[in-house]
Amino acid sequence: MNAKYKNCTVRDSLLFNLLQDSAGDTEPQETESLSSLFVQRDISAELKSLSDLVNQQGTTLLELKSELLKMQKENTGSVTEPKVAFSAALTDSGTVGPFSVQTQKVITNVGKAYNSNTGVFTAPVKGIYYFRFTALGFIHSNAMSVNLHKNQQTLMHIGSYNTHGYHEFISSGLTLELEVGDEIYTSLSATYKLFDNSNNSTTFTGFLLCPV
């Protein structure tokens, strides 16, 4: 073999061995570094996922707490706020009057503030109330009317004169601010008459809108 080629072969063989040794020394270190990097990335991803989950649960808890406080407030209001309402009809006997109107057929009396024996509503709490009266008359040449009173004061008068003998209605209402113990009632003027029967066509109604 030519000496020149022989020397090249030896040199190349040595260089190859050196490269193999060098690769054998560095590959485990590089592999270990890459593995460590992947582990760190996995841990970071897990930590971020856990952080997002904790934040989401925290938001959900705040929403539930807000909803619970709202429900507690509503329940407290419904328990403490007084409930007052009544509705009563005049009679089953036909034409009545003239005298103070006593609507004795109690339809509703929440809070027991209406006295069907006297026809008087007594305010149990200070507040804003609404009252309404509807009356029927159908006797020919008969005047019908209703007066609404607060204590001894007349607040409203409504009336009509029936000239045809058919059913005729009058109706009106008022919103009032009342103190505890104020009395609301209705009356008929002299010679005036109203009509009612089992249809409950003549009624007196009131209820508490809100306490003040």
Cα–chain-centroid distance for residue 141? Answer: 50
Residue 120: pLDDT band with limits 50, 70, 90: very high
Contact 189, 145 (CB under 8 A): yes
Q: What is the pLDDT of residues 163-182, one digit of tens each?
A: 776 778 888 888 899 999 99
pLDDT at position 97: 55
Q: Give the span between the Cα atoms of 88 and 11, in whole angstroms.
A: 122
Q: Is 142 helix (H, G, I), strand (E, B) or coil?
A: strand
Structure tokens at 161: 């004169």
Residue 33: pLDDT band with limits 50, 70, 90: low
pLDDT at position 4: 47
Q: Give the span between the Cα atoms of 150 and 186, in whole angstroms.
A: 9
Alpha-carbon torsion, ordered 5, 10, 15, 21, to 10 deg:
160
Lowest mean pLDDT, pick from 52-56, 116-120, 133-137 = 52-56
